Amino acid sequence: MSAQKPFIDIRHAKKSFGTLEVLKDINLQVDRGQIVAIIGPSGSGKSTLLRAINDLDPLTGGEIWLEDKQINMDLPHRQYERHINEVRQEIGMVFQHFNLFPHLKVRENVTLAPKMLKGLSDAEANALAEEQLTKVGMIERIDYYPSQLSGGQKQRVAIARALAMKPKVMLFDEATSALDPELVEEVNLVMKQLAEEHMTMIIVTHEMGFAESVCDRVLFMDQGVVVEEGPPEVIFRNPKSERTQNFLRKHLAGQQA
Amino acid sequence: MGLDFSVIPKYLDIVLLGALWTIAITLGAAIVSFFGGILLAVIALYAHPVVRWPFRVFSFLFLGTPLLLQLFLIYFGLVQIGIDVPAFVAGVIGLGLHFAVYNSELFQASILAVDKGQIEAARTLGLSRMQALRKVVVPQAVRDVIPPIGNNMIALLKDSALVSVIGVSELTLSAQRAIGSTYRPFEFYVLVAAIYYIINLGMEAVLRRVERRIQASK
């Protein structure tokens, strides 16, 4: 453990909708290149926490830092918008339902943001799209529309779209939950590849097997708190908390059923 | 006295010229109403209240008063405060703004119907709200709303006849002029009705092509 500042630092994160507290004082530190999985039952706040990191669901209390920059800074509206747009360029996000832009071809899905925000020329943007799509194995479909792709292919394009902004962190919000079982593996492979390249990743997932094989650390969340965290072999094989044990038992039973 | 269609050929060139003016006005007003409609919709949904309210009043006035009156006001009224608008321009602006307000209602509904995940995905890439609207939300909203907008455009073609009252020599006015010298109202009104119908068919054909192209990219 170094005394260096963590790459991502979430301090006392709180979030409530009215009287409902979804996040109750969450602390999470992630080092550069670390891969953290967040597991837990639905409604535990895991997606909310992930979405708070790039301010899609702003916190009602606490701080989130990326390197030496505070993400949820207190700024006047206009300045805050400029700030958050810059921050978001450094944070890639992948959604459960892909959210590809259906009116744009695969190529344009990937080139849109780099062209608009980084001023890339058509040629540069195309080269970038080809590079990223090759990486996720989707180069052959570069001139297809999203509606012509399978779920797994869509998700791989969505990953390429996020990677094209050269983010420092990738957030995955149940990236494989909406996929048919036979399509999960192709997306997992891409994520594993990113892990091998030491991309910093925070992964909200229901795939315990995948989390165990890829992640450095696992957080178990329930009812807005981190109940337990540790290396995957401990969380999955030897959880201390009864709530973690129950969740994993139920989850396993659900998978076998 | 019986019908005599033999007077038509002599005045056909006037009437056809009128048809061209009708097409020009419809096209101009359609463009104004399309982009104006998108602009009004975005303002209604996303602008700061200080901006939103004046536009709301404006929309309400355009929806709540007769188009005929609006044309009179733009053409005859604005001159008094030193704004002299040529009749053709007044017609395009009047018709265009009137239908922009109607189109805006359609655009608002279709913008709201675009999946929330779309704007989220655009914002997480770093696009501002305006950029996300322009490049991601509005193009999809427009795509979904083309058929009802098309219906509005056909209504616009028909309402373009009103522009005759401010002296634009479009189809209806040119028919009236021909009638003035021949006293043959039935013949010329039937002719003009047929021409409106043909333009209408042309517009529908174009619309169907646009819809097919949109469908192909869905």
Task: Report pTM.
Answer: 0.88
Whether A50 and A233 have beta carbons less than 8 Å apart is answered as no
Domain that holds residue B9: 5-217
Number of Cβ atoms within 10 Å of the Cβ of B79: 12
Given a cut of 70, is residue A54 above it in pLDDT? yes
pLDDT at B218: 63
Q: What angle (nearest 5°) sits at the alpha carbon of residue B54, between those of residues B79 and B120?
A: 135
Residue B61, amino acid: L
Q: Cβ separation of A56 and B123 shorter than 8 Å?
A: yes
ipTM associated with this complex: 0.92
Q: What is the C-alpha separation between A34 and A218, in angstroms, rounded?
A: 11
Instruction: Tell me how far apart the alpha carbons of residues A136 and B51 are, in angstroms, rounded to a whole number.
Output: 45
For residues B38-48, give the mean pLDDT: 93
From A91, A101, A147, residue closest to B118, measured CB to CB:
A101
Cα B190 from Cα B180, distance rounded (Å): 15
Confidence of residue A1 (pLDDT cuts 50, 70, 90): very low
Q: Quick check: B217 and A145 CB within 8 A?
A: yes
A195: nearest Cα among A37, A33, A39? A33
Strands A20-30 and A35-39: unpaired
To the nearest whole percent, how much of chain B has pLDDT over 70?
A: 99
| Residue whose tokens read 């019986």 | B2
A115 → chain B, closest CA residue: B127
Chain A residues within 8 A of B141 when measuring between CB atoms: none
Partner-chain contact B217 A101, CB within 8 Å = no
Residue of A nearest to B124 (CA): A88
Cβ within 8 Å, pair B125-A95: no
Q: Which residues of A touch B115 (CB under 8 A)?
A: 99
B57/chain A closest Cα distance in angstroms: 27
Residues of A in contact with B136 (CB under 8 A): 101, 112
Q: If you count residue pairs, one on A and one on B, with CB atoms under 8 Å apart, how many are there?
A: 64
A111 CA to chain B: closest CA distance, Å? 11
Query: Is B128 an interface residue toward A (CB < 8 Å)?
Result: yes
Q: Does residue B216 carry a pLDDT above 80?
A: no
pLDDT at A3: 52
- For A88, which of B115, B125, B139 is closest by C-beta distance? B125
List the one residue out of B103, B136, B178, B73 whose CA is nearest residue A113.
B136
Looking at the complex, does the CB of residue B101 fall below 8 Å from at least one CB of chain A? Answer: no
CB atoms within 10 A of CB A14: 16
Q: Cα separation of B70 and B188, whole Å? A: 28
Task: Tell me the CA distances in angstroms from B153 to B69, B130, B164, one per residue in order.
Answer: 20, 27, 18
Q: Pick B140's closest partner by Cβ from A95, A103, A145.
A: A103
Nearest-Cα residue of chain B relative to residue A149 = B218
For chain A, list residues whose CB is within 8 angstroms of any CB belonging to chain B.
54, 56, 81, 85-86, 88-89, 91-93, 95, 97, 99-103, 112-113, 116-117, 145, 147, 158, 161-162, 165
Residue type, B186: F
Contact A99 B136 (CB under 8 A): no
- What does the pLDDT look like over B74-121, one tens digit per residue? 999 999 999 999 999 999 999 999 999 999 999 999 999 999 999 999
B112: domain CATH number is 1.10.3720.10
Q: What is the pLDDT of residues A101-135, one digit of tens each?
A: 999 999 999 999 999 999 999 999 999 999 999 99
DSSP letter at B161 equals: G
Determine the residue of chain A that is closest to B132 in CA distance: A113
- Per-residue pLDDT tens over the stretch B158-193: 999 999 999 899 999 999 999 999 999 999 999 999
Q: What is the mean pLDDT of residues A81-106?
A: 96
Residue B212, chain A, CB below 8 Å: the answer is no
Contact predicate A185/A150, CB 8 Å: no
Three-class SS state of A225: strand
DSSP percent split of chain B into helix, strand, coil, nearest 5: 85, 0, 15
Residue among B117, B131, B139 whose CB faces A97 most closely: B117
Domain count, chain B: 1
DSSP string for A80-147: HHHHHHHHHHTEEEE-TT----TTS-HHHHHHHHHHHHH---HHHHHHHHHHHHHHTT-GGGTTS-GG
